[in-house]
Amino acid sequence: MLSVVLFDLDGTLTDPAVGITASYRHALTEVGVAVADDEDLTWAIGPPVRDNFEAYGLAADLVEPAINAFRERHTAVGLFEAVVLPGIEQLLDDLRARHVRIGLATAKPRPQAVITLEHFGLASRFDVVAGSRADVHSMPKAEIVAEALAQLGDPDPAEVVMVGDRHHDVEAAHANGVMAIGVRWGFGPDGELEAAGADRVVATIDELRDLLDTLTVPA
């Protein structure tokens, strides 16, 4: 029976598109790279920041300054430009009412994740918050999930699910032996979650609630 649900943050619990894309544009401009206002940067929501700048093709000597510029703007402004997705608060409350423990596992630096949860009034619903360490620009998502599970006392993997919108979430869940539920309302391209091997994929928050309800019913 399900006893723990881990959630990704960006694209899963919140729509952070405005803040994240604006922070990437700011960072690229800061290192001398012109970005058109209509260039779609939503592909960068979810993966580690370093990976995104490298995928964008930044010269190696510009990656570190770009990361710093992104983090500075995003911490000061971008975090607060997100919105909590409708239905998420009720979903979290329903899980807590069923005595399911809830954890956050995000590629964001943990301090940013804590600020986000506190700002949007979600912090009290989470038992643990795991994210990248402040002294590391990016950590493998599998390590972050492992840290969340360790904070929860290493529960039986058979009683844990990870919910996220990108392949990193699916792969990290499986690396830790837990079920991966992919959500289509995030920012992954079509087919990404299935290709990554998600155990289940849901299209709406109502579908996710129904699925989690079935998993919390004793066999």
Q: Kindly list the catalytic residues.
A: 8
Give which of 170, 171, 206 is closest to 185, Cα–Cα. Answer: 206
Find out whether 17 and 187 touch, Cβ atoms under 8 Å.
Answer: yes
Give bridge partners of residue 164 from the DSSP assignment: 182
179: part of which helix (H) or strand (E)? strand 179-183
State whether residue 101 is helix, strand or coil.
strand
| Closest by CA position to 100, among listed 2, 178, 183, 22 | 2
Phi (first) and psi of residue 162, to 5 degrees: -115, 130
Angle between helices 17-30 and 60-76 (to 10 degrees): 140
